[in-house]
Amino acid sequence: AVVVGGGGTVLSWHWSQTFMALESGTARELFAVSVRAGCAFFGREVQGGGYGGGRALLLSPDNWHVGSLRLYCGTGVGRRDLSKHDALSFLIRSPDRDPAQPVLRLSTWDRSSRDVNLSKYVAGGVVDGQWRKVRIPLDDLRTSDWKLGGVETIVLLNTSAGCNFAYPGSYWRCNHYLLDDITVLDETAPYPTKVQLETSSIVMVQMNEPYDIGQVRNLTTYQLVSTSSPSWSVRPAEVAISYSFTGFSPGSLSAENDYLIYLRFNRSLPQLEEVVLSISGLSDESGNRMSPFQQALTWHGGLSSRMVKINMQGYLPYARKIGYVGGWIGDLGGQLFAVSQAGAILRSPRPSSPFSRSNSFLGRKLSGVAAIREDHAVVVGDSGLILELYEDAW
């Protein structure tokens, strides 16, 4: 079974099979986890007790132990970053005659979330013998110092009288709970957080979360239109993607990344003329569709650009400075070179384009090539042959 919530499922545990399955985003990778290996603490998988007659997770706490589901249990499923997700959803019921209303928390190795009483989030306001849907906004679980990155355990605290840390033991007072279809939902649509001009023909768009890579490469998703000359309109010739690590967030305990899109146009933007970039049709990995987006841009030669770089030789302020132009534009990359033993030199303008024959040195056996820049490469061959490309001439 596949659980689908509003906006799509990002993370699910399905207790309808003999193992716990996890589905992550669009990758659809399933990791088998044996409940008997210790992922269910004071709990077990039960036959025929799940929603619709399948299997379910039965949590059976005692006076000294709470029931919990461990995500990080040494069986291939590790900690989960829920800092970008919106809600936790699952089905619950109790086989006991008068179940107390349990309290849920999430935890990791050094901190815990807020505790929430399920009576506030369960359909009908009470946990009883019927299967009932629970939906908890993750903001209700987040704390000021933990945004739910690196979640290890889902804990269900039993609030029945005399159960938790009771002495002498009254095991019959500890209620049992059946859970099924535990799902983490992403219900927030993606949106751009920054748009900037890299050059007169390259625009960078930074998104707030991972995007659907198939949609992001659709050239009809983007358009530039001049506000003063509506006849001036252009769509990108190529789209590049880039995920780049930026650091660790103390509140998340997980890696923070930039999710970038680079748009390369065959025409340069007009000088000192406002154009509007329109984006429509993008979705995130969970299927949430972005609202149509527009951003005004104006190009002029005095704009600061990350593509222009200055290095200083040595440490003294008056030391020589070296300026150069270069930048990263995602997976568009730069030119690629290849050589053949038959004497051919092949070039490709970027990784996504096919190779074409650039030059031929018939009768010369070429064995290797190294590119320094797009217009500067060195080829080596047999018998001491060295060819150097400089400004389009070998």
| 75 pLDDT above the threshold of 60 | no
The answer to whether the 9-185 and 192-298 domains have the same CATH topology is: no
Digit-coded pLDDT (tens) for 362-379? 788 999 998 877 778 899
Amino acid occupying residue 64: W
What pLDDT is recorded for position 15? 42
Burial of 348 (0-12, 13-18, 19+ CB in 10 A): middle
**Nearest C-alpha neighbor of 106 from the set 180, 182, 174:** 182
| 25 pLDDT above the threshold of 60 | no
Question: In the structure, what pLDDT confidence band is assigned to residue 124 with cuts at 50, 70 and 90?
Answer: very high
Mean pLDDT of 285-296: 94
Least reliable range by pLDDT among 48-57, 148-157, 159-168, 171-180: 159-168
- Could you tell me the residue ranges of all domains in the chain? 9-185, 192-298, 334-390
| 36 pLDDT above the threshold of 70 | no
What pLDDT is recorded for position 12? 43
What pLDDT is recorded for position 118? 95
For residue 369 the two structure tokens come to: 């090539």
Tell me the residue length of the chain: 394
| 19 pLDDT above the threshold of 70 | no
* Domain 9-185 grouped into CATH 2.60.120.260: yes
**Nearest C-alpha neighbor of 183 from the set 83, 289, 86:** 86
d(CA 191, CA 288): 10
Q: Which CATH class is domain 192-298?
A: mainly beta
Query: What mean pLDDT, rounded, does the chain reach?
Result: 82
| Cβ proximity of 139 and 103 under 8 Å | no
Least reliable range by pLDDT among 52-66, 255-269, 271-285, 286-300: 52-66
| 24 pLDDT above the threshold of 50 | no
**Nearest C-alpha neighbor of 25 from the set 196, 210, 254, 163:** 210
Question: In the structure, what pLDDT confidence band is assigned to residue 352 with cuts at 50, 70 and 90?
Answer: low
Phi, psi at 316, each rounded to 5°: -75, 140
What pLDDT is recorded for position 201? 92
What pLDDT is recorded for position 4? 34
Q: Is the pTM of this model over 0.75?
A: no
The pLDDT > 70 percentage for the chain reads: 84
Query: Which of 7-11, 77-81, 255-259 is most confident?
Result: 255-259
What pLDDT is recorded for position 157? 84
| 165 pLDDT above the threshold of 70 | no
| Cβ proximity of 267 and 231 under 8 Å | no
Name the more confident of 327 and 35. Answer: 327
| 263 pLDDT above the threshold of 90 | yes
- DSSP structure string for 334-350: --EEEE-TTSEEEEESS
Q: DSSP letter for 25, please.
A: T
Least reliable range by pLDDT among 110-124, 162-176, 214-228, 277-291: 162-176
What pLDDT is recorded for position 168? 56
